Amino acid sequence: MGMKAFVAAKERKKAIGMFELMKKHKFKVRVETINCLLDAMGRAKLGKEAQIMFEKLEHRFTPNLQTYSVLLNGWCRVKNLMEAGKLRNEMINKGFKPDIVAHNTMLEGLLRGNRRSDAIKLFEVMKAKGPAPNVRSYTILMRDLCKQKKMREAADYFDEMIRSGCGPDAGVYTCLIKRYGNEKKMDKVYGLLKEMKEKAYPPDALTCNALIKLVTNWKMPDVAVRIYKKMMMKSFFMTRNYDMGRDVWEEMNRKGCCPDENSYIVMIRGLIRQGRSVEACKFLEEMIQKGMKAPQHGYNNFAADFSRAGKPDILEELAQKTKISGKF
């Protein structure tokens, strides 16, 4: 992890120094350690430096398939497709058969280098001769099509992916949600969110960020803001991702999207299920102080939730504190 941190901070000499220190003190430097260093350099867009490092160390360790894959990724990230092609040939000559990771790396590299027809050819070769495209392969193609605003083609690949038996993930949905959102096709966005919920694909951090951007960048009606905010929080609480649910809440507040009663109810119930009854009580108190009224069944649900969480008296205490005992 230390080497990764140095490389990320562009402290290449320190990363190499750390590596040499390990060698000097006779720490067993495994191929995985070297791969980790080369990968970090590639991700920091230091593909050339990673290749030089590899050539310096080549006689000290036995490279494996992952070694060539991370070097390939390094060249593709800096859009040097000539070097990437040379490395791929070297990889094959040394008896390494490029796997799905290497193919996806090349696919992404070709698209980054605006060689779209070559990318499509590679994709067709993968379908015909293997390795068969996976969800990542489809996402790479669809993301590029979305950038070009070719939504019909992107939707066609989505359908092909489903037909091939390759299940989508949150990344595929996020890619489409962002594009449809940018085109203000909110019915499409809502449909995709609904589909994610029905198929049990919980939104991830990128989905969350994409939705926050949509509801805060466009002048959407309050009702739309509430729908998306509530849906997002619900999704995160359902998957026990409390922090993401809380992040949505705080980001919406920062952007001036004030929570309504339903949003408070989702937040409170989510907190109770997470075993955070004291925090839930604070939100309930805040809700009441703002003059909001949860429906009677809402209070009954809270009471049941608090009871299950081992805090049966918490609502009564809150009622006395806020002098609204008649409401319970």
pLDDT band at 117 (very low <50, low <70, confident <90, very high): very high
Contact 305, 272 (CB under 8 A): yes
Structural domains counted in the chain: 2
In a shared domain, residues 198 and 248: yes
In this prediction, residue 34 has a pLDDT band, given cuts at 50, 70 and 90, of confident
What does the alpha-carbon distance between residue 148 and residue 144 come to, in Å, rounded to a whole number? Answer: 6
Contact 107, 101 (CB under 8 A): no
Q: Are residues 243 and 276 in the same domain?
A: no
Q: Does the reported pTM lie above 0.75? A: no
Please check whether residues 254 and 195 belong to one and the same domain: yes
Distance CA 34, CA 58 (A): 10
Mean pLDDT within 109-122: 94
Phi, psi at residue 131, to the nearest 5°?
-65, 140
Residues 249 and 209 in one domain: yes
Least confident of 4-13, 28-37, 82-91, 315-324: 4-13
- CA terminus-to-terminus distance, the chain: 53
- Concatenated DSSP letters of 104-158: HHHHHHHHHTT-HHHHHHHHHHHHHHSSPP-HHHHHHHHHHHHHTT-HHHHHHHH
Residue 90 falls inside a structural domain: no
Q: Is residue 46 part of a domain?
A: no
Structure confidence at residue 72 (pLDDT): 95
Q: Comparing 67-81, 157-171, 195-209, which segment has the lowest mean pLDDT?
A: 195-209
The arithmetic mean of pLDDT across residues 271-282, rounded, is: 75
pLDDT computed for residue 93 by the predictor:
94
- For residue 142, being part of any structural domain is answered with no
Alpha helices in the chain (DSSP H): 2-8, 12-24, 31-43, 47-57, 65-77, 81-93, 100-112, 116-129, 135-147, 151-163, 170-182, 186-198, 205-217, 222-238, 242-254, 261-273, 277-289, 296-308, 314-322
Average pLDDT, the chain: 78
239 and 305 part of one domain? no
Most confident of 13-22, 183-192, 240-249, 289-298: 183-192
Question: What pLDDT shows up at residue 1?
Answer: 44
In contact, 179 and 151? CB cutoff 8 Å: yes
Is the domain of 172 the same as that of 253? yes
Final residue of a structural domain among 208, 231, 258: 258
In this predicted structure, what is the pLDDT of residue 285?
79
Residue 210 included in any domain: yes
Domain that holds residue 289: 270-328
Q: What is the pLDDT of residues 213-243, one digit of tens each?
A: 676 565 555 555 555 566 666 655 555 566 6
Are residues 247 and 282 both part of a single domain? no
DSSP assignment letter at 58:
G
Geometric angle at alpha carbon 308, from 307 and 313, rounded to 5°: 20
Residue identified by tokens 């029905």 is: 198
Over 90: is that where the pLDDT of 6 sits? no
> Does 99 fall in a domain?
no
Q: Is residue 65 part of a domain?
A: no
Residue 138 has pLDDT above 80, yes or no: yes
Bond from prior residue into 131 cis (ω within 30 degrees of 0): yes
